[in-house]
A and B are shown apart, each in its own frame.
Chain A
Amino acid sequence: MRVRHPALALVALTATVIAGAPFVGPPLDPDTSAFVLWQLRVPRVLMAALVGATLSVVGAAYQLVFNNPLATPSTVGTSAGAVLGVLVAVVLGQPSTTVNLPWLALAAFAGAVSTTAVVAALAASGRSRMQDVLLAGIAVTLAAGAVATAVESVADVGQRFTVSQWSLGHLPQVGYRGVLVLAPLLALAWGGVFSQARALHALTAGEDVARTQGVDVPRTRAIALGAGAIGVAACIAWCGPIGFVGLIVPHLVRLAGAASPRALLPLSLVAGMGFLIACDVAARVLVPGHEIPVGVVTAALGAPALLALLAAPGARGPR
């Protein structure tokens, strides 16, 4: 019973947020309302749903893979690689301050996938331990950051502004192109993660026990990390790095009482949709006439929510 009711509440809440989000904002002008609603707000909500779901479910999967409640997609170098890719692209090819998404998106995707591939290759090699993989992720993140700093030092002010704008994270969309580009990649990521749900469940008892229970640990790690990295890289490529979602949402789901990893993955997906849409609505309306970067809102809303839940009486912490 403990699991079922919070699960229903989460799904209902997310459905309400999805349905209501397009109608939040300045009153619609009758002449432009159809365009604003169907070409701006609805695609933006869909994008937030896809990205929020992906970041959360991959965060939950990474926490299970690494047996570590602090693991996130950025732990294995995905975000750092994306930022590096964008920096290189801006410095080499786009000496302009306008963010041309497809070109930067490709560079971010290439950067994110290549840094993660280094870590995933180590994870897939037979005898490496989880901690080694986690350390490798931190090393790759630091290395990518160092290279990024070096590249930044040769960039001019305009280029730096472009990159810093991009790295704040953004969800605005005109039309459905972004949704259509991302959807297949994200579906691949979700499919990969969910195909390993049973193995991830077994991994909660520890790597060696999971091996003796029949889990092909290197294969599970490679699939979960690889699929997760593709999804996260696609999200970052299109929307910039949006922090905290992958860390916070799985913990919110755990604290809400959905403990079993079989429930954790699907509920993180649903809760992530609702969480990022709500944050994006707040980003749109909190300061009238001005948009706050959504990454700022995820941190500002998510961190206190997590602290409040941890401090609440009867909270079952993530141990």
Chain B
Amino acid sequence: MDRRAGGDAVTTLALSAVTVARRGVELLTDVSLTLTAGELVVLVGPNGAGKSTLLRAALGLVRLARGRVTLDDREATSLSPRERAARVAWLPQTSGVSEPLTVADHVAAARFRFGENEVRARQGAARALAQVDATPLASRPLASLSGGERQRVALAAVLAQEAPLLLLDEPANHLDPRQRRETFLLVARLARAGRGILCVTHDIGVLAGLPAEGSTRVVGLRGGRVAFDLALDSPALTGHLGELFELRLSLAEHEGERALVTWWTQPEAGEPPCA
């Protein structure tokens, strides 16, 4: 069994000139992007920019009109579902579970690719829950969880799959500010520990809080096209973000900490959108 695929080689996901269309409307146009183990790529953009579609294209859940998706230089479409699951895991934006399961049952089910017995699956689930500090939730019914607990359990299910690359769609959705901060710090920690993470968010406030060291990038998506692909510590980032969201933004520093400030006044026409 291919327990830790990508353990030797560095796993790389590459989208090359990917176009996705639905009923003649292009949702993504010529999108190229790479993600390698150890990298954190934050994908930002206004609602409807195509962020979730980009993840679904990378996962092979939507048909490509043009372009290709490769995993370690192999066409993603040539991989079996199990081979793909050994490389990439996905946290969808919304999820519903149809059965009255406990947390441990739900997380254990995510280990399908290992083809292991129930005892091992439960051990794997317990490890994943411990990674997100959710061990006490294990025997709770899924339906009884709060929004924050549910999001943490969803993250545990993604980790239980033990794939080197994680595609996270709004992992901090519906969380309060403190839980949001903790979620993104956990995501950054996982990337430092060697996972490659592509994380969708439209919450640009978290960007200033992410640790700038390492290979963290920010990719802006607008109208289905890549607007920019910059390192997190690039000085041009604030300006590009302001343009992307049509907001006046500034980067404030206080006692060594940084914060991205959103101003309520709109940028004047012709004025650079950042201060």
Interfacial residues, chain A to chain B (CB-CB below 8 A): 64, 67-69, 127, 198-199, 201-202, 204-206, 208-217, 254, 259-262, 264, 316-319
Give A126's nearest chain B residue, CB to CB: B63
Additional 4 contacts, C-beta under 8 A, given A211-B61, A260-B105: A198-B109, A201-B105, A211-B60, A213-B85
Contact with A along B222-238 (1 / 0, CB 8 A): 00000000000000000
Distance between A215 CB and nearest chain B CB, rounded to angstroms:
6
Interface residues on B, range: 35 or more
Q: Is the CB of A212 within 8 A of B99?
A: no
User: Is the beta-carbon distance between A212 and B88 smaller than 8 angstroms?
Assistant: yes
- Flag if B105 contacts A205 (CB, 8 Å): no
Taking each of A64, A201, A213, A317, which has the highest tally of chain B beta carbons within 10 Å of its own beta carbon?
A: A213
Q: How far is the CA of A215 from the CA of B89 in the complex (A)?
A: 13
A13 to chain B, nearest CB (A): 22
A205-B97, A212-B84 as given contacts; A198 in contact with B90, CB under 8 Å:
no
Q: Which residues 65-95 of B sit at the A interface, judged by CB distance below 8 A?
A: 80-82, 84-86, 88-90, 92, 95
Q: A214–B99 contact, CB under 8 A? A: no
> Are A205 and B95 neighbours in the complex by a CB distance under 8 Å?
yes
Q: What residues of chain A lie closer than 8 Å to B84, measured between beta carbons?
A: 212, 214
| B98 within 8 A of partner (CB) | yes
A209 vs B157: C-alpha distance when bound (angstroms): 11
Residues of chain A with a CB closer than 8 A to B95's CB = 205-206, 209
Within 8 Å of chain A (Cβ to Cβ): is B252? no
Q: With A319-B98, A319-B143 given, is the CB distance from A198 to B112 under 8 Å?
A: yes
B59 at the interface (CB under 8 A from A): yes
Closest-CB distance, A212 to chain B (whole angstroms): 4
Q: A209-B90, A214-B84 are in contact. Are A68 and B98 (CB under 8 A)?
A: yes
- Residue B180 is within 8 A (CB to CB) of chain A in the complex: no
Structural contact, B98 and A67, CB atoms closer than 8 A: yes
Q: Is the CB of B100 within 8 A of A212?
A: no
The 6 residue pairs across chains A and B that have the minimum distance between CB atoms: A214-B85, A214-B113, A214-B82, A202-B112, A212-B90, A260-B105
A316 to chain B: which residues have CB within 8 Å? 100, 141, 143
CB-defined contacts of A260 to chain B, threshold 8 Å: 101-102, 105
Assess A211 versus B100: contact at CB under 8 Å? Given A205-B157, A260-B105, A316-B141: no
A100 to B251, alpha carbons, bound, how many Å? 85
Q: What residues on A are CB-neighbors of B106 within 8 Å?
A: 204-205
Which among B99, B101, B108, B141 has the greatest number of chain A C-beta atoms within 10 A? B99
Question: Within 8 Å of chain A (Cβ to Cβ): is B270?
Answer: no
Residues of A within 8 A of B112 (CB): 198-199, 201-202, 210, 213-215
Instruction: Judge whether B59 and A212 touch: CB under 8 Å.
Output: yes
